Chain A
């Protein structure tokens, strides 16, 4: 029966994450953004919450309770703290979840237990390409079969933590279909290039990666001969990003709401005026609506349904929502909204990214 109330376990999980974001992330995220670096201890503490191991089955060393709905709840809470920190902590998911969803039995057995260790493996994934017209279903990076090997060629961008990675899950176009390949960074022809200079999420190191005739064994193709169900992986990513956008938008709404109650002009708090109060009402309603769209898509994923249509509709709406909410948060703060001492300008910069962050988060 229809119900919109998280259960006790989910509440405990979000409460744990919320404590982490309030007591740790929010203390340092602004400096991290200016410095372009997130303190290692903060990342470790985030990993220790154990989100990924709880999503992996027992046979691979996890706690065996995968749920996209729970993942969405967790991601919203994480991203309320800070988006870059969230993407940093969750980078191992970019490999673990696709392998869990589409890997062969052998691939699962060999990779997944490593994600249940105390420290996460140094892995990342590369989907986005440096182009104006980017479509994850029509990648320009190619994979060509050559005997019992694949040869990869192309350029990737926004590859988080690539600098420090031992392995990259590379998405490439094989005969018009997007497939994924496990590529060691020390393979010949893999070049981790410059760090991306981005408008937002500046504390997350991300790099360009080029692949020049990189040879990998055929067995490194995720899912073996049949390959992956790329829509399924992309849909999981869209749920994750949608949830993160909701969390960040909620942060913006809450900040603007509290500010509007404090800031006095013309002898009264500005929130006493309808033009401000109605903006806040719209923000609250649109955040709630977006969350429901994310939850529904996540729930359908958990039911094993194909959500390609729903995920597209949801993601486009969430992307619009997060921009509008972040923009209005800046507006409500007036001149202060434009100053980097206040967080809202950061949320506006981050918000614009969601439309291009496909594949940058995964649950």
Chain B
């Protein structure tokens, strides 16, 4: 039944998260923006206990399953049966929105499996999910990352060159190659005992079928940080280039079921695509958080100038600024509803690939436009670094780019609605 109700316990959680955003994020926003590559200590301290709880609760059904039915541990790819909707997904999406309202760059530094976790969840077996994610429930803060992009493989990530070769003597995978623009790469691999899911090919001649995902854990020898990027926005976020130089990882760290002939199925690459079904709504939610921050701030500042919107005015009576604000509100709300739809479909166990791409590109588009409008509407003051709107405008733009650019997501939507293959619509 159609409903827009957010369960009360999630609403309560959000109040707590809003406190985190107000106390541990906003006060440091400017400082972290001006001092790139500094880490958001306050935010990490405050959120680590909370994310540990979250990961614990998401692993609980898996652990119960492993205990109840031990033989099913390693080869059971069957998902644990779920009764009713999956609230974790919705609560995570709502949390991302609220944290990004606080500061999108800091949010990306959340000590949490993040994209790496999404990849382990989508492509890993239940046993692997427990094995790799358990460390996020104990000890010091840890980070997760995912590495797909390479210098020659951006939008066309099937063109990746990083190789994984099995050394049958030691039963290890040997990784070689270069990944770029990896969010949390340094935090996950050098500054904590985290993990990075690395996509690599086991057979460069096999195209997509050869691409598999591998879990590289923190402090693995042979992995180096080749570069720390300097960015337009989200400067608090850690973005690095990674070099893999004979990095060795255990055989069991390849995600998914292990067949002797890994190239026989395209499952590996489909795992990557499945990761996006969960991660695109997450990116959209982050975009929306920034949009809401800018919108609320802009409305507050306009109110101080006695510009308050009367929603019963007709188009002729509204000023150009008022019409802009109403359009900003509409674009914000529309993109958020698309995001909630993609999330709810997933929570109810329905396919959401089309919806995920729709919300991702629409949210990126909306936040980019809304934040640019905010700077415009706030005049000379809006352009100063005294206020955060100019930063939000710079932060916002990343949402048009990562997790599939706007165009790539339009392409996915277009193929889906036209029933076209990759060959028919390039």
Contacts and interface: CB of A to CB of B under 8 A. Distances in A.
Contacts of B5: 1-2
Interface residues on A, range: 35 or more
A317 B2 contact: no
A2 B314 contact: no
A117 to B, nearest CB: 30
Given A2-B4, A296-B4, A274 B425 contact: yes
Contacts of B334: 289-290, 292-293, 317
B377 interface: no
A289 B335 contact: yes
* B7, B331, B335, B413: residue with the most chain A Cβ atoms closer than 10 Å: B413
Nearest to B314: A135
Interface string B82-109: 0001010010000000000000000000
Contacts, number: 147
A281 B413 contact: yes
Interface stretch (A3-11, A141-149, A208-216): A3-11
B417 A135 contact: no
A134 B314 contact: yes
Nearest to A314: B330
A293 B341 CA distance: 12
Interface stretch (A78-86, A91-99, A166-174, A305-313): A305-313
Contacts of B330: 293, 313-314, 316-317
Interface in B373-426: 407, 410-411, 413-415, 417-418, 420, 424-426
Contacts of B326: 312-313, 316
B345 A4 contact: yes
A210 B207 CA distance: 74
A180 B420 CA distance: 53
A295 interface: yes
A164 to B, nearest CB: 30
A157 to B, nearest CB: 16
Given A133-B316, A134-B314, A257 B417 contact: yes
B261 interface: no
Interface residues on B, range: 35 or more
Nearest to A282: B410
Contacts of A260: 418
A281 B410 contact: yes
Contacts of A3: 1-3, 85, 344, 348
Contacts of B338: 285, 288-289, 292
Contacts of A2: 3-6, 90, 340, 343-344, 347
Contacts of B314: 133-138
A3 B346 CA distance: 10
Contact of A284 (B3, B337, B348, B417): B417
8 contacts: A4-B344, A5-B2, A5-B348, A274-B407, A277-B415, A281-B414, A289-B358, A293-B334
Interface of B: 1-7, 85, 87, 90, 311-317, 323, 326-327, 329-331, 333-335, 337-338, 340-341, 343-345, 347-348, 350, 358, 361-362, 407, 410-411, 413-415, 417-418, 420, 424-426
Instruction: Please list the 10 inter-chain residue pairs (A to B) with the smallest Cβ-Cβ separation, ordered nearest first.
Output: A317-B330, A135-B314, A292-B337, A277-B414, A289-B334, A281-B413, A281-B414, A312-B311, A2-B344, A7-B1
